[in-house]
Amino acid sequence: MIKHIVLWELKEEAKGEKLENTITLLQGKFKPLIGVVDGLVAIEVGSNYNGGKFDVALYCEFTSQEAQEAYQGHPEHLKIKEVVHSLVCDRTSIDYEI
């Protein structure tokens, strides 16, 4: 099982009063990938309520590294990345196997 965690810092125009709408938008984009991307078994998007640099987290579980690699290049994921890039000013991620 591969865990993929991404943290995003949002641009100012996607924060504040718009944060809830931003989270809803991202959840609506990512959740439908289950059943579309082979090997993607779980996906969540949530906002950081503790403060700090990063505003949003993406959590994914994959059956294998190959499944994660396929996700990275999947056309539906690439469409979502365009939306994310319009909302985000910084990003970090970690991948690990359990």
All structural domains of the chain, each given as residue ranges with its CATH number in brackets, are 2-97 (3.30.70.100)
pTM value > 0.75: yes
pLDDT of residue 28: 98
pLDDT of residue 70: 96
Q: What is the pLDDT along the chain (98 residues), one digit of tens a residue?
A: 999 999 999 999 998 889 999 999 999 999 999 999 999 999 999 999 998 999 999 999 999 999 999 999 999 999 999 999 999 999 999 999 99
Cα 25 → chain centroid? 11
Q: Angle at CA 34, nearest 5°, toward 15 and 81?
A: 40
pLDDT of residue 16: 86
Beta strands in the chain (DSSP E): 2-10, 40-47, 56-62, 88-97
Q: Could you tell me which of 78, 66, 92, 91 has the C-alpha nearest to residue 30? A: 78
